A and B are shown apart, each in its own frame.
Chain A
């Protein structure tokens, strides 16, 4: 079974530029999550999708972050414009059963300079 795929693995941008990350979840998984992991901290949930609907985006900075999950499969997370404090690893995870664990991708490491 293929795991959660994310791209790119690394990205370096200047502040005020825009950036997008892509996630392909495990086939058949209805739930998709984006987490932000700042260096030295645990991952923090940004947004949770169930199929193509948003379940929880209370921690998403909506003035600059946006996410979509068209057709309930792949998802993109966008930051526009980026700030220095957005430097982090962005992790995508998917889950198929609410009573089991979520599976994580390898993440995208974003550096804003």
Chain B
């Protein structure tokens, strides 16, 4: 069975500051890992994904994440927060070759002007 734990249901950062959203996973097989963003009243949009290639993955809107097998982590970062980054962020895991996703509980990111 697979699972994802997102540490911190709410994160607040100042505009221009570093964004760090934490995600730890559990999987009995090599995982595929994803970060999705959800704006109010919208569906989920893929930010980036790890599928066993490069461990440092770059996504859209300046976000990136690093797969660390030894720490079972896939934390999401962005060097400089922008007001438009305010949203809910979900980390998810799937098995290779299966798009079925298991999601974490989400982290709401607030940007302080």
Contact = CB atoms under 8 A, between A and B. Distances in A.
A100 B43 contact: no
Given A42-B103, A43-B103, A104 B43 contact: yes
Interface in A87-107: 91, 93, 95, 98-107
Interface string A12-45: 0000000000000000000101000000111111
Contacts of A107: 42-43
Interface in B30-53: 34, 36, 41-46, 49, 51
A48 interface: yes
Given A99-B51, A104-B43, A104-B44, A40 B105 contact: yes
A91 B99 contact: no
Contacts of B98: 98
B99 A31 contact: yes
Chain B at the A interface: SS class: loop
Interface residues of B, number: 25
A43 B113 CA distance: 30
Contacts, number: 56
A102 B105 contact: no
Contacts of A31: 99
Interface residues of A, number: 25
Interface string A34-76: 0000001111110010000000100000000000000000000
Q: Which 10 A-B pairs have the closest CB atoms?
A: A42-B103, A104-B43, A95-B99, A104-B44, A106-B43, A102-B99, A98-B97, A101-B46, A42-B105, A43-B103
Interface of B: 4, 9, 34, 36, 41-46, 49, 51, 90, 92, 96-106
